[in-house]
Structure 1
Amino acid sequence: MTIDLHAHTTASDGTLSPRELVALAKKTGLKAVAVTDHDTVSGLAEALEAGRELGQEVIPGCELSVGEGRQSMHIVGLWLTPEAPKLREALEFVIRERGNRNHKIIAKLNELGLDITYEEVAERAGGTVGRPHMAQALMARGLVSSVNEAFEKYIGNSGAAYVPRTRLSPAQALEVLRAEGATPILAHPYLLQLPLSQLEVRLRELMDLGLEGMEVYYTEHSNDIRRAYRALADRLGLLVSGGSDFHGSVKPGIHLGRGKGDLYVDDNLLEAMKAHRRERGQWV
């Protein structure tokens, strides 16, 4: 059976509520789905409740945006509790800074003659406000024709209204995830754009800080990359994970459990993670 250990809801920048995501996982026939919203655990209680009601296994998680110098990366923590007090405390500062950043981006957009307000963006979000919600607001006003255009021209890393974000460092993120009893996974390593030899060096550094796994099977990873990353993970003794990075209609070409159509994440990977956690006396 297949699983998906990387998916988002309206608690961050997805378009399905936690309950709707779990229902879709059930309808799709997934053995398990992980709810891994960006920098928040606010959707986990709803997702777990829906999982119990529908008979769908839900892995509670979170995707942390971390950075050091010019390098940014995402680290997924799996098997978090909805309370996650240590993580919530660490994220309070990040969330405050994200709010400040959002206001700055919208101010820049306004200076460029793009008339949107923070209020309409927040209304679209329903939860954590992010750049995809700004892109949706720009589209709704007819100021751009697509989400991609919004990012390329205005709010992406090279856009005219871009504002850098404040993030946890990899060391801080891994420390707090381990303190919460989560299993830390490096998400979509391909996006680091590192040659395999340099990626191995970086992985070893992160392992020294507490990293336990890497996302081998991912929507944007080609079959060749998946094979190379699987060999690297096995050689380093890292847990192997995978997921679609499903966001709903904001990324219409990416389907839960299937990515762009060719993704398959075997449930044996989940069983290996559970065995690893049991060996460490952690709950599954």
Structure 2
Amino acid sequence: MTTIYDLHCHSTASDGVLSPTEVVARAIEKGVNVLALTDHDTTAGITEARLAAQQTDLTLISGVEISTTWENRAIHIVGLGFNETSATMTALLTHQAELRYQRAVEIGEKLAKVGVTEAFKQAKMLASGEVTRAHYARLLVNMGKVANENQAFKKYLSQGKSCYVKAQWCDIPTAIEVIHQAGGLAVLAHPLRYTLTNKWVKKLIADFTQWGGDAIEVASCGQTPEQRLLLAQWAKHFGLLSSVGSDFHFPCAWVELGKSLFLPDDSLPVWTKLSLD
């Protein structure tokens, strides 16, 4: 029987819509055997998820998705299999939370200028944890300002739009170092989703490798076969492990826990270096 891994997903601890308990239940329902909950810049949901996974056949490993800045772009680094009580990890995530809070407040102020009053207060009501752009997008949908969350980003929240606020995250070397100090592996999340040319993606992967990164996400939902093979080739070229992750945020047809998360045959899976006890 094939083991199904999903090493990138989100809960209400960040910008997902299901609680950690609900994420675990859905993962089991979808046949996932090994899961990492990787909320944005927080490990707040892991304890609940671990409790939910007890007395089940699901193996849960610690995870987080750290926001970083590279070449004036936001790049996400997933940490896997680390000690959540690590002092350096706790310090970094505390600082990231402060940056995220300030950014959320500033976005709310900009939304007020386009007629969305008390936006931060209203977005906070949609969030179990920190307020993110995704919560503002849901607020704009609920208010009828846009038809869906994608429109919210395109009209208000994306770079260059009226309510965009540039993030001030840590750099990639810092994220990798902290993950390693906590005993984990550093994974470059969804390399083809940063609207970069292939030349720039390769530069990103080269820098990530030079700074000590361990793996890249090779398999994700909604990929073409060509994209998966290309990422597998780059992982092999740079001597990196290969990871898999749905980047699940909410139930939908095209992004689902455990969906189509297989690696090409010659890939070296990241879980060969993870403790799955």
TM-score (norm 2): 0.91
1:90-121 CA deviation, whole Å, 9 max, x = no partner? 12222112111111111111111123432221
Match of 2:272 in 1: 275
Structure 2 CA distance, aligned partners of 1:129 and 1:114?
Answer: 16
Which has the larger displacement, 78-87 or 103-112?
78-87
Match of 1:255 in 2: 256
Which of 74, 82, 89 pairs up with 2:91?
Answer: 89
Structure 2 CA distance, aligned partners of 1:205 and 1:245?
Answer: 23
SS in 2 for 1:66: strand
Amino acid paired to 2:26: L
Which has the larger displacement, 67-76 or 265-274?
265-274
Percent of residue pairs bearing the same amino acid type: 31
Which has the larger displacement, 41-50 or 83-92?
83-92
Contact kept in structure 1, 2:241 and 2:268, CA below 8 Å: no
1:224-251 CA deviation, whole Å, 9 max, x = no partner? 01111112212322110111110015x6
The 5 Å alignment of 1:1-284 reads 1=2, 2-249=4-251, 253-258=254-259, 263-265=260-262, 272-277=269-274
Amino acid paired to 2:218: V
Amino acid paired to 1:256: L
SS in 2 for 1:88: helix
Compute the RMSD of aligned alpha carbons. Answer: 2.3
Contact kept in structure 2, 1:257 and 1:265, CA below 8 Å: no
SS in 2 for 1:54: coil
Amino acid paired to 2:5: I
1:151-184 CA deviation, whole Å, 9 max, x = no partner? 1111122321101011010111111011011111
Structure 2 CA distance, aligned partners of 1:33 and 1:169?
Answer: 26
TM-score (norm 1): 0.89
Contact kept in structure 1, 2:76 and 2:189, CA below 8 Å: yes
Greater fraction of residues in helix? 1
Aligned residues: 275
Amino acid paired to 2:272: A
Structure 2 CA distance, aligned partners of 1:206 and 1:10?
Answer: 29
Q: CA deviation at 1:193?
A: 3.9
Structure 1 CA distance, aligned partners of 2:269 and 2:184?
Answer: 15
Contact kept in structure 1, 2:84 and 2:90, CA below 8 Å: no
Amino acid paired to 2:273: H
* Cα pair distance change 1:283/1:255, threshold 3 Å: closer
Contact kept in structure 1, 2:77 and 2:187, CA below 8 Å: yes
Structure 2 CA distance, aligned partners of 1:245 and 1:227?
Answer: 19
Amino acid paired to 1:255: E
* Cα pair distance change 1:46/1:13, threshold 3 Å: same
Contact kept in structure 2, 1:42 and 1:82, CA below 8 Å: no
SS in 1 for 2:54: helix
Contact kept in structure 1, 2:218 and 2:242, CA below 8 Å: yes
Amino acid paired to 1:254: V
Gaps of 5+ in 2: none
